[in-house]
Copies of this chain bind each other. A is one copy, B any other.
Amino acid sequence: MWARVAARLGEDARHHVVTFGSDRADFEAAIGDAEALVTDKDVLAPLLPFHAPHLKLVFVANAGLDNLAPFDWLPQGAALLNNRGAHARKAGEFGIMAILMLASRVPQMVTHQRAGEWRKLWGGIVDGRRLTVVGLGALGGAVAAQASHFGLRVTGVRTRPEPHPDCTEVIGPDELDAALASTEFLVLACPLTPATRNLLDRRRLALLPPDAGVVNIGRGPLLDQEALCDALDAGRLSGAILDVFDPEPIPSGHRIWNTPNLIISPHTAADNPGTYYELSLERFFADLKADREGRPLPTRFDVAAGY
């Protein structure tokens, strides 16, 4: 795969000295000389901190690196890179799927099915309806793009509220409260940082219209899971579709397994196994080339911002 992706990107793999490893011993044997590290956040986390005096590029094949924070383990002079964009296509498809499911009231249908009850339940088309997407990175941007194809009016929420081609309007986080009252579908697609933790708390959940639908494809702690379950148990909201939880995996016997009008996806919304590693490697090679040519690194992770 390394040679294939390198060839596809015009990168001459004969100039690479590559070591592949699968355990701590492999890592320790190679990291002292390594100039670049390609890894995965769950593989890397238990290896922190480490000594790597030559390391320049640390590529982690994930989008959200919150479990590696704080980033004080990063060797001086090394750049942290993620695989931003590798998840976009699948996340966009999952996002619009979830919005269409909420519009068709699938979470409620599934709840009725579980009870063995035939109850007519009408949904509606999404054309012209109001979607708020929190986070306009690769994931949120892909959801906004699919949503605009379906005629949804998209309000994007991001730290720097500049215009976005697939959003009717883009607002800053300080304007979120005001936007919630007219939000019919809310998609959380932002990274988990100290600023976004518990973003959709009990107070903000109560600002949503009673038949709004909630989707979370970011990180579990972006929302107050207990408050969401309380709302659904009380018959508020039309439904929720969650891909991320706090904690993960969801413990056996947790109330969320039986919360009505809620659908659980096991943190795989943005993954497309058929292309995931090749797309990630493509990003690494693009970073490698940019580094060699002295250009800004395309997937550089801003350790101060946390994304």
Chain A residues packing against B (C-beta within 8 Å): 89-90, 93-94, 96-97, 100-101, 103-104, 106, 109-110, 112-114, 116-127, 149-150, 248-250, 252-253, 257-258, 263-269, 271-275
Q: Knowing A93-B126, A97-B97, A100-B97 touch, does A118 contact B266 (C-beta < 8 A)?
A: yes
A116 to chain B, nearest CB (A): 4
Q: Knowing A90-B124, A263-B113 touch, does A104 contact B269 (C-beta < 8 A)?
A: yes
| Cα–Cα, bound, A272→B123 (Å) | 6
Contact B103 A93 (CB under 8 A): yes
Q: Among the listed B118, B250, B264, which residue makes an inter-chain contact with A249, where contact means beta carbons less than 8 Å apart?
A: B118
Which residues on the B side are within 8 Å of A113 (C-beta)? 257, 263-264
Which residues on the B side are within 8 Å of A96 (C-beta)? 100
A109 to chain B, nearest CB (A): 5
Copies of this protein in the complex:
2
A104 to chain B, nearest CB (A): 6
Q: Knowing A96-B100, A110-B110 touch, does A122 contact B271 (C-beta < 8 A)?
A: yes
A-B contact pairs, 14 of them (CB 8 A): A90-B123, A90-B125, A93-B100, A94-B100, A97-B104, A104-B265, A106-B263, A109-B264, A110-B263, A113-B264, A114-B114, A118-B249, A121-B268, A122-B272
Contact B257 A120 (CB under 8 A): no
By beta carbon, the residue of chain B nearest A116 is: B257
| Cα–Cα, bound, A58→B210 (Å) | 41
Q: Knowing A94-B104, A104-B269, A268-B122 touch, does A263 contact B109 (C-beta < 8 A)?
A: yes
Q: Knowing A94-B104, A150-B93, A257-B113 touch, does A122 contact B267 (C-beta < 8 A)?
A: no
| Cα–Cα, bound, A106→B265 (Å) | 7
| Cα–Cα, bound, A33→B300 (Å) | 77
By beta carbon, the residue of chain B nearest A271 is: B122
The 3 A-B pairs at the shortest CB distance, nearest first, are namely: A118-B249, A97-B100, A116-B257
Which residues on the B side are within 8 Å of A265 (C-beta)? 104, 106, 109
Which residues on the B side are within 8 Å of A252 (C-beta)? 116-117
Contact A125 B272 (CB under 8 A): yes
Q: Knowing A116-B257, A273-B124 touch, does A101 contact B110 (C-beta < 8 A)?
A: no
Contact A116 B253 (CB under 8 A): yes
| Cα–Cα, bound, A90→B100 (Å) | 10
Which residues on the B side are within 8 Å of A122 (C-beta)? 268, 271-273
**Beyond A97-B100, A124-B274, 19 additional pairs, beta carbon < 8 A:** A89-B125, A89-B127, A90-B123, A93-B103, A93-B125, A94-B104, A96-B100, A97-B97, A100-B100, A101-B106, A104-B265, A106-B265, A110-B263, A113-B257, A113-B263, A114-B114, A116-B257, A118-B250, A124-B272
A200 to chain B, nearest CB (A): 21
Q: Knowing A149-B149, A266-B121 touch, does A104 contact B110 (C-beta < 8 A)?
A: no
